[in-house]
Amino acid sequence: MADDYYQTLEINKNATDADIKKAYRRLALKFHPKSSKEAGSTERFSQLGEAYEVLSDPRKKATYDKFGLEGLKGGIPPEFGRGGAWSSKYAYHGDPEKTFKQFFGGDNPFAVDFYTNDVPLQFGGLQSVVVKTQDPPIERDLHLSLDDLFLGCTKKIKISRRVMNEGGYTSSIKDKILSIDVNPGWKEGTRIVFSKEGDQGPNSIPADIVFIVRQKSHPLFERQDDDLIYKTQISLEMALTGFSVNVPTIDGRLLNIPINDIVHPRYSKVVPGEGMPLFQDPSQRGDLIIHFDIQFPEKLSVDRKHLIKKALK
């Protein structure tokens, strides 16, 4: 092992943490046994691993800067040491490949982007660059009632996903609660994206989790864009003579709508501003549209037919 860690990494003692990482990245890739054919590359690769492990650790670096290699590996002299981590002896674990994998992440460090001075590293004379890609989105339906979409609400959804443990070599399954604030006026097909909340892996970017709004059916209303459709049955007498219809609203009111027109089979009553809230401006609303199902009598006596004919002349 070279006596000067800074010289090993080809940096000076004023190097920042970013400088140390940049130097190790460049030299470790250059002298890795899989990529270098230079004599002594294996030994140099090991030296780089030890130098980086010391200089990237604030306590080890401080001890090395003040007491040198002897103080780092032999322990701080008694007149300076007070026990604890600062006076403990340091010994490199001797596995530069472990240091390399911890730095780049994953069981296969060569399955990540490798660049030396912005130039893709070449292995065995062939250019090899593997781009770290993101997994495809995970799409799930989010079933909401018309009341939820009218009033707005908050939905809590528990997901289980694989996360990498500290060190990046193993993973475990952990639960997480995702919170969705449903805004008044959301429509069927609205997409809610949770970025990179999918399974983690050593050589991939976690997938986005996407929830897609699916509207449940409602016992009273049908939705048509921002309008609400309400259907009610009336008699032929009501259709011809006029009446009032009571419509209970989703927000708990009761509308009394007078119908003074002749209600024919294609007739509908439009009540402005009593439909769904507009997503862009919930203070504004679509319309309530009332459709009528006219119930005709199955039979009429001769006398009734005569009276109707007389009334309609």
Pairing of strands 126-127, 191-194: unpaired
Structure tokens at 136: 């495809």
For residue 105, the model assigns a pLDDT of: 67
For residue 102, the model assigns a pLDDT of: 81
Domain 221-312: which CATH number of 2.60.260.20, 3.40.50.2300, 1.10.357.10, 3.40.50.2000: 2.60.260.20
- In this model, does residue 86 exceed pLDDT 80? no
138-215 shares the fold of 5-56+95-127? no
Pairing of strands 115-116, 119-120: antiparallel
Triad 116, 166, 133: Cα angle to 5°: 45
Structure tokens at 76: 């701080």
pLDDT band at 70 (very low <50, low <70, confident <90, very high): confident
Kindly state the average pLDDT of the residues 67-79. Answer: 75
Classified by CATH at the fold level, domain 138-215 comes out as: HSP40/DNAj peptide-binding domain (2.60.260)
Kindly state the average pLDDT of the residues 238-246. Answer: 94
Q: Write the DSSP string, 168-207.
A: SS-EEEEEEEEEEEEPTT--TT-EEEETT-S--BTTBBPP
For residue 12, the model assigns a pLDDT of: 92
- In this model, does residue 118 exceed pLDDT 50? no
- In this model, does residue 121 exceed pLDDT 50? no
Partners of 277 in the β-ladder: 285
Reference 204, options 244, 234, 162, 243; nearest CA is: 162
- In this model, does residue 47 exceed pLDDT 60? yes
Structure-model confidence comparison of residues 261 and 130, the more confident one: 261
Query: 174-213 burial, b for 16+ CB within 10 Å, e for fewer?
Result: eeeeeebebebbbeeebebebeebbbbbbbeebbbbbbeb
For residue 80, the model assigns a pLDDT of: 55
Say how far apart CA 20 and CA 56 lie, in whole Å. Answer: 7
Structure tokens at 6: 């800074």
Kindly state the average pLDDT of the residues 194-222. Answer: 92
pLDDT band at 77 (very low <50, low <70, confident <90, very high): low
Per domain, the residue ranges of the chain are 5-56+95-127, 138-215, 221-312
Say how far apart CA 202 and CA 128 lie, in whole Å. Answer: 19
For residue 85, the model assigns a pLDDT of: 41
pLDDT band at 73 (very low <50, low <70, confident <90, very high): confident
Reported CATH class of domain 5-56+95-127: mainly alpha
- In this model, does residue 147 exceed pLDDT 90? yes
For residue 38, the model assigns a pLDDT of: 72
Say how far apart CA 215 and CA 143 lie, in whole Å. Answer: 6
Q: Mean pLDDT of all residues in the chain?
A: 85
Per-residue pLDDT tens over the stretch 154-201: 999 999 988 888 776 678 899 999 999 999 999 999 999 999 999 888
Say how far apart CA 95 and CA 76 lie, in whole Å. Answer: 25
